[in-house]
Amino acid sequence: MDFTRRDTLALGAGAVALTVLPFRVNAAGEDAIAEFTGGADVAEGGVNLDAPEIAENGNTVPISVSAEGASAIMVLAMGNPTPGVATFNFGELAGSQFASTRIRLAGTQDVVAIAKLADGSFAKATKNVKVTIGGCGG
Amino acid sequence: MISRRDFLQVSMAASALVGASGFGNWARLAAQQSLTQDQLLQFDTFGNVSLIHITDIHAQLKPIYFREPEVNIGVGDNRGQVPHVTGADFRKLYGIDDGSPSHYALTYNDFSSLAKTYGRVGGLDRVATVINAIRADRPDAILLDGGDTWHGSYTCYQTEGQDMVNVMNALKPDAMTFHWEFTLGSDRIAEIVEGLPFAALGQNIFDAEWDEPAELFPPYKFFERGGTKIAVIGQAFPYMPIANPGWMFPEYSFGIRDENMQAMVDEVRAQGAELVVCLSHNGFDVDKKMAGIVKGIDVILSGHTHDALPEPVLVGDTIIVASGSNGKFVSRVDLDVQNGKMMGFRHKLIPIFSDVIEPDKDVAALIDEQRAPFKTQLEEVIGQTDSLLYRRGNFNGSWDDLICDALLSEREADIAMSPGVRWGPSLIPGDDITREDIWNVTSMTYGKAYRNEMTGEFIKVILEDVADNIFNPDPYYQQGGDMVRIGGMGYRIDITKPQGERISDMTLLKTGEAIDPAKNYVVAGWASVNEGTEGPQIWDVVESHIRKMGTVTVQPNNSVKVIGA
């Protein structure tokens, strides 16, 4: 079967240019957490983080966070070159402490949400989101 | 007082008895040449509700051979648990005699010789007979199709699924969920679904833009049967845009969404559902995990991973039923629902032995009608096989070895890659290979065979990525396929390691040299999920190769060394 140079070029362009190995946790993420919490202890639970187990598209991953009574929720993509995603601040009159957005993930990594709760304590939720090259579905 | 749990266990024993009366005797019965349709269908009607489950038909209208896997490794908590039990261990577990019809239907050993004894399986005209017989016992039985129905054959490809829609409509299902159907493209699936005379369900089918439930696919449907309010909740394949080309259906988003599943269960219970059934295309291990997280599902009818289990698996108070693939089995589940609770069940996995079960005449005629316009193309003999050709297995199958050989030779490549899909019937030694047979293992809407240069490092990245889709110890990260099949290259895999560390000793077979991470290799493959892939269709590549071979002989493949199984 013949294949032309054009085929090869087109196929090359179609090849996946995605790095899929799990990303190392970035020290900048830990620094951002320390800055947000002022070094206070962070408890597990008390904050909900909804994110897909496997991203359908690593360039736009829908996530949502909520924590009852929180004054702020910080979201970090721990494996991104720049881990900071957003910090959502909720005023006293906020009807609910819920936010959703879409984030870009450079590869498989933990997404972390840290909430500053009403009593001034901090709570954390972590979800590992896989970014995969896909294919081969049964 | 007997608790509900006791009832379930008592009924499980009853179910095992049905299995014993039906299953264990078959060997002897067959030896007496007296395996009959009545025996296959024998079932003491139980309780007040009957469910009929069929799934993963992959457009197999006619009887076929289908060899179950030899290698099906479970990881994490599922290590050594069903469905990750095969061969003699499987027969021992379920008390199946060697050489019996159940041996042939459910395990891989001696497949070629047993296939000659017991013949082909499946055929939707035979399935129709079984469904009609169950409906004769229980006229308001609910028939549920687990999806992967409108994909997988020459006629299905040519008619964009219409052949399957026409024949399935004649079987009168009550509801369906989806996977490969979406690879027809969102316009075509919308066109079909809008005209379906039954419910198209998927609580996890969302609008991608707004992240809201997709209007076309309601999460659940209520049925009132036997004086019982039954809610059937659909669960489509969660990883469609990842495992299949998302660009073909960009409007949709999926995912497991077990929180929404819980919300739907709570919603239907609040509306008075006395029995909650989940019609799922999650795959078995994902369903098991979900059953432990979501509370209030009575029955999960499980599809996607093509497992056939003679008894349901119990997780908490939920029973999980796995009904095989390619039209080879139909499950009947009778339930006793009293005062809003499932008090017990009786179950039978009915193998569709095509020589034993009489075809339904109307459905047989309807099937022939679908195939008539393509008869010449379907029946053309391309070659013969001296070897058993099958696909199932975690690392390779002889069909895939043949496809990889075709890619290496027809596309002049160093290395070939074939997707680890689980569909595709088998052929036994001595069989003709027709064009239909080739399409049965290759047909898809993104079948172009690419030819590409990849570095050794990138090939490893691909293998590591796919391996983690199978061997990640958390089922929620498993996509339910098998390992990508590799031609021209050997490797070693330690399934117990994390992603990035499983694959080693990659060797180019034609030179015996280690794969150089920095060097480029010519790789030929098919079923790329990337838009704009170019090349000849894989079925043309395989047909051309088989024509040149005349008679196909596939040597045993020992190029993958598996550690930690």
How many whole angstroms separate alpha carbon B444 and alpha carbon B367?
A: 20
Q: Cβ contacts (< 8 Å) between B528 and chain A: which residues?
A: 14, 135
Same domain, B268 and B417: no
In this prediction, residues A11-25 reach a mean pLDDT of 44
| Structure confidence at residue A4 as a pLDDT band (50, 70, 90) | very low
pLDDT at A88: 96
In this prediction, residues B270-295 reach a mean pLDDT of 98
What CATH fold (topology level) applies to the domain A25-129?
Immunoglobulin-like (2.60.40)
Same domain, B158 and B182: yes
B 70-109 residues with CB < 8 A to A: none
Q: Across the interface, do A138 and B422 touch by the CB < 8 Å criterion?
A: yes
Which CATH number goes with the domain that contains B252?
A: 3.60.21.10
Chain segment B230-274, per-residue pLDDT in tens: 999 999 999 999 999 999 999 999 999 999 999 999 999 999 999
Domain of B402 in residue numbering reads as: 380-563
Contact B124, B155 (CB under 8 A): no
pLDDT cut 90: percent of chain B above it: 91
Tokens of B230: 């039954």
Same domain, B181 and B254: yes
Nearest CB to B536 within list A1, A13, A62: A1
Q: Does B7 touch chain A (CB under 8 A)?
A: no
| Structure confidence at residue B21 as a pLDDT band (50, 70, 90) | very low
Chain segment B489-539, per-residue pLDDT in tens: 999 999 999 999 999 999 999 999 999 999 999 999 999 999 999 999 999
In this prediction, residues A38-61 reach a mean pLDDT of 93
Tokens of A127: 């979800």
B 201-240 residues with CB < 8 A to A: 208, 211, 237, 239-240
In this prediction, residues A30-53 reach a mean pLDDT of 93
Same domain, B328 and B289: yes
Same domain, B70 and B154: yes
pLDDT cut 70: percent of chain B above it: 94
Distance from CA of B452 to the nearest CA of A (A): 6
Domain count, chain B: 2
Taking any CB pair shorter than 8 Å as contact, residues of chain A touching chain B are: 1, 3, 7-8, 10-16, 19-22, 50, 52-57, 62, 100, 108, 130, 132-138
The per-type count for chain A, helices as H runs and strands as E runs, is: 2, 8
Same domain, B328 and B444: no
How many whole angstroms separate alpha carbon B271 and alpha carbon B398?
A: 51
Q: Cβ contacts (< 8 Å) between A129 and chain B: which residues?
A: none
Q: Across the interface, do A21 and B480 touch by the CB < 8 Å criterion?
A: no
B153 lies in a domain?
A: yes
Strand partners, B486: B417
Task: To the nearest 10°, report the CA torsion of A45, A46, A49, A53.
Answer: 30
- The one-letter code for the residue type at B194 is E
Contact B161, B192 (CB under 8 A): yes
From the CB of residue B509, how many other CB atoms can be counted at a distance below 10 Å? 15
Which residue, B367, B362, B353, B361, is CA-closest to B41?
B353
How many whole angstroms separate alpha carbon B233 and alpha carbon B279?
A: 6
Same domain, B18 and B116: yes
Which residue, A14, A113, A21, A19, is CA-closest to A63?
A113
Q: Cβ contacts (< 8 Å) between A19 and chain B: which residues?
A: 461
pLDDT at A136: 53
| pLDDT exceeds 80 at position B10 | no
Sign of CA dihedral B80, A52, B486, B459: negative
In this prediction, residues B43-67 reach a mean pLDDT of 97
Same domain, B326 and B405: no
Average pLDDT in chain A: 83
Using CA atoms, how far residue B68 sits from B55, B211, B242, B425, B552, in Å, is: 15, 38, 26, 10, 21
B407 lies in a domain?
A: yes
pLDDT at B27: 47
Chain segment B364-397, per-residue pLDDT in tens: 999 999 999 999 999 999 999 999 999 999 999 9
Which CATH number goes with the domain that contains B455?
A: 3.90.780.10
Sign of CA dihedral B425, B427, B432, B433: positive
Q: Cβ contacts (< 8 Å) between A100 and chain B: which residues?
A: 211
Residue A135: closest CA among chain B residues belongs to which residue? B243
B374 lies in a domain?
A: no
B375 lies in a domain?
A: no
Chain segment B472-485, per-residue pLDDT in tens: 999 999 998 999 99
Distance from CA of A132 to the nearest CA of B (A): 6
Same domain, B502 and B476: yes
How many whole angstroms separate alpha carbon B303 and alpha carbon B56?
A: 7
Same domain, B345 and B397: no
| Structure confidence at residue B170 as a pLDDT band (50, 70, 90) | very high
Same domain, B358 and B468: no
Q: Cβ contacts (< 8 Å) between B474 and chain A: which residues?
A: 53
pLDDT at B35: 81
How many residues make up chain B in this entry? Answer: 565
Q: Across the interface, do B499 and A14 touch by the CB < 8 Å criterion?
A: no
Nearest CB to A11 within list B419, B499, B534: B534
B373 lies in a domain?
A: no
Q: Does B281 touch chain A (CB under 8 A)?
A: no
Q: Does B411 touch chain A (CB under 8 A)?
A: yes
B482 lies in a domain?
A: yes
How many whole angstroms separate alpha carbon B309 and alpha carbon B298?
A: 18
Q: Across the interface, do B484 and A11 touch by the CB < 8 Å criterion?
A: no
What number of C-beta contacts closer than 8 Å exist between A and B? 130
How many whole angstroms separate alpha carbon B510 and alpha carbon B489?
A: 8
In our burial notation (b when 16+ CB lie closer than 10 A, e otherwise), range B474-490 reads: ebbbbbbbbbbbbbbbb
Same domain, B401 and B329: no
Scanning A15-131, the segments in alpha helix (DSSP H) are: 27-37
Q: Does B244 touch chain A (CB under 8 A)?
A: yes
How many whole angstroms separate alpha carbon B504 and alpha carbon B527?
A: 25
Distance from CA of A75 to the nearest CA of B (A): 20
Strand partners, A102: A62
| pLDDT exceeds 60 at position B67 | yes
| Structure confidence at residue B322 as a pLDDT band (50, 70, 90) | very high
Q: Across the interface, do A21 and B544 touch by the CB < 8 Å criterion?
A: no
